[in-house]
Amino acid sequence: MEQTVLNLPPASLKVKNTENHWLIWDIIRKKYLPLTSEEWVRQHFVHYLINHKSVARSRILIERKVRTAQKRSRFDIAVIADSENFSIVVECKSSEIKLNEEAAYQMQRYAYELKPEFLVLTNGLQHLIFQWHILESNYHQIKYLPENL
């Protein structure tokens, strides 16, 4: 199965074909999942956090339920800072989907509920990264995630 080459460092991903459908290994949930374009992006970003930002696997949560003011949803990736605080929340989109206001609004709902220091919206090709600014009480766009998360 041909997948898009992403604007992320290469990752050693386990992919297999069973009965005419492709699966990808999730190193956090420790199981094979259907290989969708969004899952391709999610797994690359997880490997990026672990291998290039030195985030411990034990701090990464994937597709957990979160209740926002409007509905129940699931965030794609979160990194916890401690038992009560989130360091990062990442919203992943398929590489075919443009990062638009609807996707940003979804990310903002998670930010309101989870209050992470960093927000990332990515389709694997483009990455929008924001950091909470305490003095101004809002998020500012930054170019890169820092080294020590």
DSSP 19-79: TTEEEEEETTTTEEEE--HHHHHHHHHHHHHHHHS---GGGEEEEEEEE-SS-EEEEEEEE
For position 66, which CATH number holds? 3.90.1570.30
Would you say residue 6 lies in a domain?
A: no
Would you say residue 74 lies in a domain?
A: yes
pLDDT tens figures, 36-67: 999 999 999 999 999 999 999 999 999 998 87
Would you say residue 43 lies in a domain?
A: yes
Confidence of residue 91 (pLDDT cuts 50, 70, 90): very high
How many structural domains is the chain composed of?
A: 1
Would you say residue 147 lies in a domain?
A: no
pLDDT of residue 147: 85
Determine what percent of the chain is predicted with pLDDT higher than 90: 72
Looking at residue 37, its amino acid is: S
pLDDT of residue 1: 62
- pTM of the complete model: 0.93
pLDDT of residue 20: 83
Q: Would you say residue 78 has pLDDT above 80?
A: yes
Would you say residue 91 lies in a domain?
A: yes
| Residue span of the structural domain in which 111 resides | 37-142
